[in-house]
Structure 1
Amino acid sequence: MVGRIAVLGAGGMGSAFAAFLARAGADVVLVGRGGAHVRAVAERGLLVAPPGEDAWRVDVPVAVTAADLPHGSVDVLVVLTKTYDSAAAVAGAAPALSPAGVAVSLQNGLGNDAVLAGAVGGRRALVGVTTVGATVQSPGAISITGSTAARRSLTHVGATGQARAEDRADDVVAALEAAGLPALHARPVDVAVWEKLALAVMSPVSSVLRATVATVWRHPEGRALVERMFDEVVAVGRAQGVDLDRDAAWAHAARVFDGTGEHHTSMCSDVMAGRRTELSAMAGAVAGLAVRDGVPVPVHTTVLAMLHVMGA
């Protein structure tokens, strides 16, 4: 059993997790950094729009900043900020975590275990990955992907690297499951992290094209480009000692892409809006490891070069 759950990061993903948890009756608070979206949620609740279905609204308690959370009041801190903000954000929220509490990063990329361990200690930290998809459409309103609405998304939680709170993973999984967010306790979670890195190659490809997932996926050339970049991640992961089941991982990725629909990845949305991206923690981190270990990644090299030219 878990008590209060704080979702750190009031973007599309954090808002979606908070909305599902609140709708299921969990004691949840969405923690933002001020701004119009957080104010709108506080004033009139959060509107969630699934594709092809009626939107629903749910009241979600809000903390404008992490400093508004009472010390020691949070049992589970779900971290869904952008990776480049996570060190400062988690450090600011750490005092709110109870002595027996646990912080869980569901962020993209590599290195999240070290960030959490540095802020709350490795024995109070877990990492995970998720295929939940959501985007802020306007202040107080988000859209979610078809697979998320149909409860076909999947969140993996577990211990790896410096995040070692293995005994709390089942509690976190149970809370997400009860909220209609399918979840698994992954042992080891490293495989799931690298599978998500492979899945996430859709982000830089779609960002270069400034296209939705559905647009990229329905074109044979787009699908082939994603698959080649996917295979490069598998090769780099294996060089790191993470032996991915390539065919199973690709089948899972295909199901996710099939179910995502006309949805821009968060990276693509950031590129189109001229915002900072998480490229360095995702494809950039994979490319860096590839250079170190002598693994050829020509598609990564080309796509990253194009994104850098675009200012990403």
Structure 2
Amino acid sequence: MERRIGVLGAGGMGSAFAAFLARSGQDVVLVGRGGPHVDAVARAGLLVHPQDGEPWRVAVPVAARAADLEPSSLDVLVVLTKAFDAADAVRAAAPALAADGVAVSLQNGLGLDAVLAEAVGADRALVGTTTVGATRQEPGRVTITPVTAAGGAQNHFGEMGLAAGGSRGAGVAAALTAAGLPAVQHDHVGEQVWSKLALAVMSPVSAVLRATVGAVWASPEGRGLVREMFDETVAVAAAEGVVLDRERAWTHAAGVFEGTGEHFTSLCSDVLAGRRTELAVMAGAVHGLAVRQGVPAPAHRVVLGLLGALGVR
């Protein structure tokens, strides 16, 4: 049975998800909050530009604002706003979710289970991670990474914390996979979420240095600091009951860093542009748990302190 899928958040990520779903013929609506980009998509469709390939355009149905959605009209709500916008955005969209529907957060960081549970109920909430890479450019256009364009990005979601809507997620992974966004639903997604947090330690280091991933990785000191924060994250995960294979996870992370090259992390890009960041739900949340659990995390403390001194929040 076809599901009506709402993609909440019309930034680069949400726009890319909606475009892939629309191109595969699925019943999708991109839910924004007004503005030139949403207007452009409604008028002329969305132009998707792979970084190393030919662009393509697809018509994407748009709800300029969540209030424009019909009540109980969505079977699935894929949440891809910035983490700090999630509470207000999901609360506004909640009336559009059917009684037997499910909201799936694929955002960065910790705490999204509580946000979704408060807005739609724990039994209608799932959380996860994505490696899709997309950036909104001028209105009506997004760029996507080569891996995303090739269908190699990965999405993982399931129950974690207060999010307990597992049985309602049936078919969501299939819908995403059919659209070229490979997805897996897990009984419990803690390992995947914490693995993403461990991988994301490059972000605050690159933001402190105002440097690309390639530049940080080329520096023995930078590489060493990233490794310290990585090890601290793995230790905090273990204290929270999620045991990661440290060396396997580090081998994967090192491969990602090695292959990323001269690319700014999203956190670094936000800092350079003077935008609000997701630091609080990423490294900030990890450090907060380290303090609560009594896990030493000096590298997190120093890097977060430097970012704080620079006014980064």
TM-score (norm 2): 0.94
1:290 aligns to 2:298 (yes or no): no
Residue 55 (structure 1) aligns with: 55
Deviation at 1:232, TM superposition (A): 1.0
Residue 174 (structure 1) aligns with: 174
Residue 280 (structure 1) aligns with: 280
Would the aligned equivalents of 2:40 and 2:140 in 1 still touch at CA under 8 Å? yes
Q: Secondary structure at the match of 2:137?
A: strand
Deviation at 1:245, TM superposition (A): 1.3
Change (3 A) 1:256 1:19: farther
Q: Which amino acid aligns with 1:68?
A: D
Deviation at 1:260, TM superposition (A): 4.1
1:181-200 equivalences under 5 Å are 181-200=181-200
Q: Which amino acid aligns with 1:109?
A: G
1:13 aligns to 2:13 (yes or no): yes
Worse-superposed segment, 196-205 or 284-293: 196-205
Residue 159 (structure 1) aligns with: 159
Worse-superposed segment, 81-90 or 39-48: 39-48
Q: Which amino acid aligns with 2:254?
A: A
Q: Deviations over 1:228-275 (max 9, x none)?
A: 211111011111111111122223323443454544332222111111
Worse-superposed segment, 301-310 or 247-256: 247-256
Deviation at 1:286, TM superposition (A): 0.4
Would the aligned equivalents of 1:66 and 1:92 in 2 still touch at CA under 8 Å? yes
Residue 38 (structure 1) aligns with: 38
Q: Deviations over 1:144-169 (max 9, x none)?
A: 22222222221111012211111133
Q: Secondary structure at the match of 2:168?
A: helix
1:192-271 equivalences under 5 Å are 192-271=192-271
Q: Which amino acid aligns with 1:193?
A: V
Deviation at 1:199, TM superposition (A): 1.2
Distance 2:256 2:273 in 1: 25
1:84 aligns to 2:84 (yes or no): yes
Change (3 A) 1:262 1:63: farther
Q: Unpaired segments of 5 or more residues in structure 2? A: none
Distance 1:193 1:34 in 2: 31
Q: Unpaired segments of 5 or more residues in structure 1? A: none
Deviation at 1:217, TM superposition (A): 3.6
TM-score (norm 1): 0.94
Q: Which amino acid aligns with 1:227?
A: R
Distance 2:96 2:21 in 1: 19
Q: Secondary structure at the match of 2:87?
A: helix
Q: Which amino acid aligns with 1:246?
A: R
Would the aligned equivalents of 2:74 and 2:96 in 1 still touch at CA under 8 Å? yes
Would the aligned equivalents of 2:2 and 2:27 in 1 still touch at CA under 8 Å? no
Would the aligned equivalents of 2:2 and 2:26 in 1 still touch at CA under 8 Å? no
Q: Give me the CA root mean square deviation.
A: 1.7
Worse-superposed segment, 175-184 or 221-230: 221-230
Q: Which amino acid aligns with 1:133?
A: G
Structure 1 outlier segments of 4+, above 6 Å: none
Q: Secondary structure at the match of 2:143?
A: strand
Change (3 A) 1:195 1:38: same
Q: Secondary structure at the match of 2:104?
A: strand
Q: Secondary structure at the match of 2:184?
A: strand
Distance 2:43 2:263 in 1: 27
Deviation at 1:95, TM superposition (A): 0.3
Deviation at 1:37, TM superposition (A): 1.6
Q: Percent identity?
A: 66
Q: Secondary structure at the match of 1:243?
A: coil
* Count of aligned positions: 312
Deviation at 1:208, TM superposition (A): 1.9
